[in-house]
Structure 1
Amino acid sequence: MPRSESTVFERHRPDASVVRHALAPTRQAVFWTEDAPGERYPRLQGDVSCDLAVVGGGYTGLWTALLAKQQDPDARVVLLEGRRIGWAASGRNGGFCEASLTHGDENGRTRFPGEFDELQRLGMRNLDEIEGTVAELGLDAGFERNGAFDVATEPHQVEWLRELAGGDDPVFLDAAAMRAAVHSPTYEGGLQRFRDSALVHPAKLARALARACVEAGVEIFENTPVQALGDGITLYTPDGVVRSQRTALGTNVFPSLLKRNRLATVPVYDYVLMTEPLTPQQRASLGWEGRQGIGDSANQFHYYRLTEDDRILFGGYDAVYHYGGRVRERYEDRPETFRRLAAHFFTTFPQLEGVRFSHKWAGAIDTCSRFCAFFGTARAGRVAYATGYTGLGVAATHFGARVMLDLLAGRRTERTELEMVRSRPLPFPPEPAAAIGINLTRWSLDRADHRRGERNAFLRTLDAVGLGFDS
């Protein structure tokens, strides 16, 4: 076992005063949703009947409702959202719209080796369809099909990226080429991907999809939590009942209305900082002319991107599970994580010393044990669900919506025949075993990052039983 080593973020820490200055004006608020307030929709009052009820006003629910109306314009489609459209994960994410349906190539090859190539093809087609819909409907979503960089910040990660390069896309970049593209002294190498990644403005995408739904005839109700799914397909809300022929569940990280899925996902909190807009001089100091999204190659990885007004979103690294697996607003403010992220930001871009952060926020990721979405039906095929995206669902939710509509219609398609669609992840154990296992995994991943990627016996055991994480 190699000795424990420091990472670049520990070897080149900024002065504590730099971090304090940067965080001094930061507000606990989601930049995206403030930047795209959107329309308000009524609360459900009374009873309604419909052909399709969609539960959840995030990307999964919105895509499902929109696609359902496109497939059958005469169908009555009702969408129920417990709070506001896009307020949770769909309005808080980094806006990375990735073609991968399996949370990265390695995860896909390991879990679905017999159909990995098919999943890659379907994932790229899925991203193409999203791009086509944005253009066709004129959705104001900040969509940029600009590719991405995967970067190595430690020497041992360079070979990992070199092995993934293939032909013209993706292309391996050595340290000099990577630093020429984006000016960070942390880069030891990189992988440039040209077609399998885009960026969006998360809240604008959610608001635009909601407007498209309404224009297509979908009825949207906000502040209408579904409290129970009764016998048959009856959805009970505080002030009304919805009776539907079919129901699609897009409840993401929140407790499932189906008992079978209660232990299938857990909420893991992810944290984000957003800078103030950069000055022209600060922006020029970065290079980064292609505006690609960037993610590093550690187990505890960072992701970052530019916004339309030249802010930098910088997030990731800490992934925090709270005992009991509950979603709570108080978990969103974690000062030690924001200090750590700010320090890592200035290690990455020391030339930006003096920049301040305007916003900080967090959100809960619907994590499942196979680290990519799973699907299924209940109630004799009249209820379908898609969940467990594990932080890479901006594009995959569109695929999940298509899968649910296929399942509800009883259609055999290339999607429904996939092992990925027909299989389920192993459930998480109840507490205290869940907290012990999740936190031990996180500690082990951090240890691997400090030991040149060497995975300990615990991680190797998880790998052997199909529970290992390597995106």
Structure 2
Amino acid sequence: MTQPLWSEATEQEGSYAASSAHGPSSASGPLTSSTTSSPDPLPPRADVVIVGAGFTGLWTAHYLLAADPSLDVVLLEARHAGFGASGRNGGWVSALWPVGPDTLARRSGRAAAEAMLAELRHTVDEVGRATESAGIDCGFRKGGTLGLARSQAQATRAHAEVAHAQEWGIDTSWLDAGEATERLAADGVLGATYNPHCARVHPRRLVDGLAAEVRRQGARIMEGFRVEAIEPGSALLADGRTIAARHVIRATEGFTPVLAGHRRTVAPVYSLMVATEPLPSGLWDQIGLAQRETFADHRHVIIYGQRTVDDRLAFGGRGAPYHFGSRVSPEFDHDATVFADLRATLRDLLPQIEGVAFTHAWGGPLGIARDWHPSVGHDPATGLGWAGGYVGDGVAASNLAGRTLADLVLGRHTAITDLPWVGHRSRRWEPEPARWVGINAGLRLAHAADREESRTGRPARIGRLLEALTGH
């Protein structure tokens, strides 16, 4: 098993040397290492307890303490800060949102939908501003994002996306084949969509830097403290201890189903990644990504990639199965078949890398709400707050969640507390086995749709069935 690029790893297996460290250039310990408890004793109470020390929890603590340094903020983390999706993701700080503006407008009105889109664009820049202000060297580079069209079916969807974006002022444009290839010399490109509101980061460096900043601000990050249940006024640990607080925030994303009463709140779906060895400058001259654009294409099964801070290709995608009962386990982080498919897909996209070694492979769960709608909220009567269900778009969304939760906890009515995702309640996922059948059927349909389009060259007829099943 190769080690995760985004964690510090010092082990070798076979020909793959894990040379990355909380960034690809230094080392300390693999993501999957066992976690020791914090040397600090669990305090009996705090002003704010945040369950989960990933991006959502850390940004929330950061903005709370920036507004009121006197607050006693405690983050409880079962493993180590950034252990979940925050330390393992594809590093896209994007204005992408899993729910379309039309859906937002139907629920909350056009003005609210437009405000949401505008704030997402602003959030990309806010992540850059905040990391620069804190001196976090995470490789933030706002080069935009490319969505390649490599078949007529994909081009049809891409043109429809551009037309829809123009209706909403989303700034997505169409690049012809020459313009697209100039940015990324992928094979068989007919064109691409391009949106400027996306930055590349090294997520492990970002989460580690943010954790250090939050500690500097005075928060206590208690690692190795697994929470079993959240109640108004307290968090109950697995060992029976409790910590009391006026405000208790759930920031657990893909690990939410392990909390009592939250088995069906979100579905933990696994996304896996691979990465190459660092590529020489001459090869990058052939490939492109000179502005550090992130990239994907318009197939049904999601893929995503970036040029890393040390000039690797990091590339990921969905494809791993959902596990019965919303189980999460370290063994699910690795799937040899999916890793092989990802390597083959990247070589198909970029034949220039034939012969290049893949040195890292990793994965982890992300959270999906039943209606694919992220949400953030806080009940002033109980003090309970939450954020999540980002469907893989959480690097930027978690920053917006942190700013929003800080305002809500502090009782401040601001423009972002009026956004349409605030207070949204998704219905619960179906009980098993319906949940297992439905989610994995959707994955199979997505693969089948891509195979149909590869065979026919036309948009897949089963695409409409896939949309009906996923509900978006």
TM normalised by structure 1 equals 0.86
1:81 partnered with 2:86: no
CA drift of 1:67 comes to 0.6
2:66 to 61, 66, 70: 70
What one-letter code is carried by the residue in structure 2 that aligns with 1:308? V
Give the match for residue 363 of structure 1.
364
What SS does structure 1 have at the residue aligned with 2:209?
helix
Quick one: distance in 2 between partners of 1:281 and 1:267?
A: 40
CA shift digits 1:135-191 (9 cap, x unpaired): 222212211111111111221222332344459943311122212221111322112
What one-letter code is carried by the residue in structure 1 that aligns with 2:183? A
What SS does structure 2 have at the residue aligned with 1:416?
helix
Give the match for residue 188 of structure 1.
190
Quick one: distance in 2 between partners of 1:377 and 1:388?
A: 15
Aligned residues with identical type, % of pairs: 30
Give the match for residue 264 of structure 2.
263
Contact map agreement 1:29 1:361 (CA 8 A) in 2? no
Give the match for residue 468 of structure 1.
471
CA drift of 1:33 comes to 6.1
Quick one: distance in 2 between partners of 1:71 and 1:102?
A: 30
Quick one: distance in 1 between partners of 2:321 and 2:21?
A: 21
Quick one: distance in 2 between partners of 1:197 and 1:321?
A: 28
Quick one: distance in 1 between partners of 2:245 and 2:55?
A: 21
Contact map agreement 1:101 1:119 (CA 8 A) in 2? no
1:155 partnered with 2:157: no
Quick one: distance in 2 between partners of 1:135 and 1:183?
A: 31
1:99 partnered with 2:105: no
Tell me which moved more, 162-171 or 181-190. 162-171
Quick one: distance in 2 between partners of 1:168 and 1:241?
A: 46
CA drift of 1:44 comes to 4.3
CA drift of 1:328 comes to 0.9
1:25 partnered with 2:25: no
CA shift digits 1:21-45 (9 cap, x unpaired): xx97347998756756679983442
Quick one: distance in 2 between partners of 1:298 and 1:311?
A: 23
What SS does structure 2 have at the residue aligned with 1:255?
helix
CA drift of 1:258 comes to 6.5
What SS does structure 2 have at the residue aligned with 1:318?
coil
What one-letter code is carried by the residue in structure 2 that aligns with 1:454? A
Quick one: distance in 2 between partners of 1:168 and 1:399?
A: 18
- Distance verdict in 2 for CA 1:234–1:82, change over 3 Å: closer
Contact map agreement 1:233 1:244 (CA 8 A) in 2? yes
Higher relative contact order (CA 8 A, sep 6+): 1
Quick one: distance in 2 between partners of 1:364 and 1:130?
A: 23
- Distance verdict in 2 for CA 1:82–1:36, change over 3 Å: farther
Give the match for residue 16 of structure 1.
none
1:79-228, aligned counterparts within 5 Å? 79-102=75-98, 114=110, 115-165=112-162, 166=166, 169-194=171-196, 196-228=197-229
What one-letter code is carried by the residue in structure 2 that aligns with 1:468? G
Quick one: distance in 2 between partners of 1:455 and 1:27?
A: 44
1:253-292, aligned counterparts within 5 Å? 253-255=254-256, 261-292=262-293
Contact map agreement 2:294 2:304 (CA 8 A) in 1? yes
**Residue ranges of structure 2 left out of the alignment (5+ in a row):** 1-12, 30-35
Quick one: distance in 2 between partners of 1:423 and 1:460?
A: 22
**Residue ranges of structure 1 left out of the alignment (5+ in a row):** 1-22
TM normalised by structure 2 equals 0.85
Give the match for residue 20 of structure 1.
none
CA drift of 1:402 comes to 2.2
